[in-house]
A and B are shown apart, each in its own frame.
Chain A
Amino acid sequence: MKEFTGRRYGVRLHVNHETHTLHVRAADTLLHVLRDQLGLTGTKAGCENGDCGSCTVLVNGTPLNACLTLAVEAHEQPVTTVEGLRGSEIQKSFVEHWAFQCGFCTPGFICNAQGLIDYVRAEHRHADDELIKEWLQSNLCRCTSYHEIHAAVKSVLDDGEEC
């Protein structure tokens, strides 16, 4: 049985291919550990209630709300934040499609979209508009760039299908 007892626990997180040994409270969310201890402030704190998706990161390839995940749950797991997607197809596509305005929601959308792209390619699935909508519904954009965001994601998925 894994136990983290006492006030501070040593956890090992593999974030963007770098391993970090950190001392955290068991009650610390992954969101705050990424931002406050690792300085990875690309992951945004919006509602902290699971509603907005601005804190989305990939844990073991799966999009999760970092505000609904304890850092101890991610012990020894690979974590990807928006900083780890620098230069990715999806980042470029967001730029090309003007898929942001203020940019606050963008890191969450990009991480979620990367999760979708990886899933579709691994499963050899066709990503129709319904599937894209189902995934992207998890993220809110107060600037209402939804149309451009959908286009940016679709463009990467369509390119992948042509290969």
Chain B
Amino acid sequence: MIPFDFDYYRPDSVGQAVELYARLRAEGRNPIYFSGGTEIITFGRLGQLVTDAVLDIKSIPELGALGRSGDHLVFGAGLTLNAVAESGLFPLLGDVARHTADHTTRNKITLGGNLCASIPYRETVLPFLLTDSYAVVAGRQGNAWVSMHELRLAPGELLVQIWTEQSAARWPSVTIKKTKQDEVDYPLVRLALVHDGRGVRAAFSGVCEAPFRSWDMEDALNTPGVPLETRIAEALRRLPGQVIDDQLGSADYRYYLLHHSLREGMSALEGGGR
């Protein structure tokens, strides 16, 4: 049971959501956008999150967008992970979404919820980082285009959509997820690789405190004329932060899995990828 009460609103438009959020804040309330609600409900039940006003955004039409627009693919932030995976529009994103949580929970978890989650995994961000995608973010001043590399929402800002170039969505790709025991779990290591025609791009979740793409590691992985093992060893020396060490897995174990996954992923990609 969630041990506190809140009001529940279901705004019909982006403008209504953003204005309502601002009004509630001005009244001293503590509103929160509610998409799939899985994090809000589970954290709320445990007292790790408190709110007095929930703004359920998933029926706003722009957040349900899914398709092509010119050279781009458009993904609404309110789409469930199963809807994203089943669309088949962006194979790497589909692969990552299909192995995030379990099938029933993916009927509720939304793309926007996963990208804005407070848990450190946010696995679906990796394909967007690798393809230099853009987010449409709504605020009181209107919509802004924000690179996925710089997506940090201020209070009240609403993630509306993510746009990805269609050509980038077709790059050869590989993704590997290593978990502690079951196939369905948070990642000890999630690796996503693409080949953009010039070289490999690499992004990671579960390794450091936040998901990341590292250009420095990519340089090492793409060094010409150097054996794969040496490139991987150099890439690992360039990790941008401490490897997570927690009850799910020690830092040493994660490092071992990361090494192994990079070898498996790079071999697959250099051999052709999907």
Contacts and interface: CB of A to CB of B under 8 A. Distances in A.
Residue from the set B16, B105, B183, B184 with the largest chain A CB neighbour count within 10 Å: B105
Contacts, number: 91
Contact of B41 (A5, A25, A70, A139): A70
List of 8 A-B pairs having minimum Cβ-Cβ separation, nearest first: A138-B104, A26-B8, A2-B10, A27-B2, A138-B102, A4-B8, A5-B7, A63-B104
Interface of A: 1-7, 9, 25-29, 32, 48-50, 53, 56, 62-65, 67-70, 72-73, 112, 134-135, 137-139
Contacts of B20: 1
Interface residues of B, number: 32
B44 interface: yes
A137 B184 contact: yes
A111 to B, nearest CB: 9
A53 B41 contact: no
Interface of B: 1-2, 4-12, 16, 20, 36-38, 41-42, 44-45, 54, 56, 98, 101-105, 107-108, 183-184
B8 A1 contact: no
Given A1-B9, A26-B7, A68 B103 contact: no
A26 B54 contact: yes
Given A26-B6, A26-B54, A50-B42, A32 B1 contact: yes
B5 A26 contact: yes
Nearest to A56: B104
Contacts of B7: 3-6, 26
B5 A27 contact: yes
Nearest to A2: B10
A1 B12 CA distance: 5
B2 A29 contact: yes
Contact of A3 (B1, B8, B104): B8
Contact of A68 (B1, B56, B105): B105
Given A3-B8, A70-B8, A50 B37 contact: no
Contacts of A135: 103-104
8 contacts: A2-B9, A4-B9, A27-B4, A49-B42, A53-B102, A64-B104, A112-B104, A138-B102
